[in-house]
Amino acid sequence: AQSVTQLDSHVSVSEGTPVLLRCNYSSSYSPSLFWYVQHPNKGLQLLLKYTSAATLVKGINGFEAEFKKSETSFHLTKPSAHMSDAAEYFCVVSPPNTGFQKLVFGTGTRLLVSP
C-alpha cells in the first residue's frame, strides 16, 4: 500500500529564515507527488508537482521540492519565509496503476512564521 509520512506536525520559523517541511513516501513504483497548501477555512491550493521529469521542482510563491528516490523523500523548501506562508501544508502521493487518481494525503504540517 502507498503511504505518505510528514515528519513534523508543526514547524516554527522566523520571517526571513529558510523553511524545510519534510515528507517521506512509500510506493512500489515511481509515483506522482504533490505539495498543497491550506489556509484557515480554505480549500487546498497546489504548490507544485513532481511527475518523473526534473527531480528539482519549482512551485509558486518561491517554494521548491526535490525528489530523492534513494531516500524516498520529497521535502519542501523555501529560502526565506514570509508571514503569509503561515498555513498547513500537505504532501500527497498519487500512486500509479490504481485505475483512477486516488490521492494519498499526509497528515499535514502546520507552518508558523513569527516576526
Nearest-angstrom CA–CA distance, 61 and 19: 12
| Nearest-approach distance from CB 97 to another protein, in angstroms | 9
Return residues touching another protein (CB under 8 A).
4, 9, 31-32, 34, 36, 41-46, 49, 51, 90, 94-96, 98-108
In angstroms, give the least distance from the CB of 18 to another protein.
25
Residue among 80 and 107 whose Cβ is closer to another protein: 107
Nearer to another protein (CB atom), residue 13 or residue 31: 31
| CB nearer to another protein: pick between 17 and 51 | 51
Q: How far is the CB of 96 from another protein (least distance, A)?
A: 6
Phi, psi for 39 (deg, rounded to 5):
-90, 160
Q: How far apart are CA 73 and CA 71, in angstroms?
A: 5
- Of the pair 15, 59, the CB lying nearest another protein is at 59
| C-alpha span between 113 and 99 (Å, rounded) | 40
The Cα–Cα gap between 36 and 87 comes to 10
CB of residue 100 to another protein, shortest distance in Å: 4
Whether the CB-CB separation of 47 and 76 falls below 8 Å is answered with: yes
CA-CA distance, 60 to 63, in Å (whole number)? Answer: 6
